[in-house]
Amino acid sequence: MADETTQNADVTVSEDTVTEAVDPRSEVERERDEYRDALQRLQAEFENYRKRVARQAEDSSARAAGDIVAKMLPVLDAFDLGEAHFASSDSEEVKALRQNRALLLDTLAKEGLVRISDVGVAFDPQVHDAVAHVEGDGSEQVIDEVLRAGYLWKGAVLRPAMVRVKG
């Protein structure tokens, strides 16, 4: 009988030892899982931060380019006025003026500038600024004359077109 008690005591001690050995391991595993979760959250937050900073830099660059183009609109207007003034002339200087104007417009168009200067299209207050009105025969308002061209920069209105509306 003494042998059985000793054996039971040994088993009890063995179970306690096993229980004590399992608890630290599960604690370590729990800490490991917490650290892994924290690291995954940190990686996701950093990835989101990186994307946000890249998006902000791109937006800032696009705004800066738009500001430069907006400052160049008076130059485009001067080219338009010069071409309108010399419309009937065909001298070498006028040809050079037209080529320079076309070169500037083409270069800016490749970067995202769109000219708003169509006559006969429906009036859109988002892209047109009506400064004059002429009576027309239709109920729909259409652009009769473009007094100053407007421009879109990468889809956003940079300057509305100054127009005379018919209708």
pLDDT (tens digit, 0 to 9) for every residue of the chain, 167 residues total? 545 444 544 445 555 555 555 577 788 889 999 999 999 999 999 999 999 999 999 999 988 988 999 999 999 999 989 888 888 888 898 889 989 999 999 999 998 899 988 888 888 889 998 898 888 777 788 888 899 999 998 888 999 999 999 87
By C-alpha distance, which of 146, 151, 165, 160 is closest to 84? 146
Question: What is the CATH number that goes with domain 113-167?
Answer: 2.30.22.10
How many C-beta atoms surround the C-beta of residue 28 within 10 A?
10
Between helix 92-111 and helix 2-85 the angle, nearest 10°, is 160
Alpha helices in the chain (DSSP H): 2-85, 92-111
Q: Is the pTM of this model over 0.75?
A: no
Answer yes or no: are the C-beta atoms of 66 and 153 closer than 8 Å.
yes
Separation between Cα atoms, residue 1 and residue 45, nearest integer Å: 65
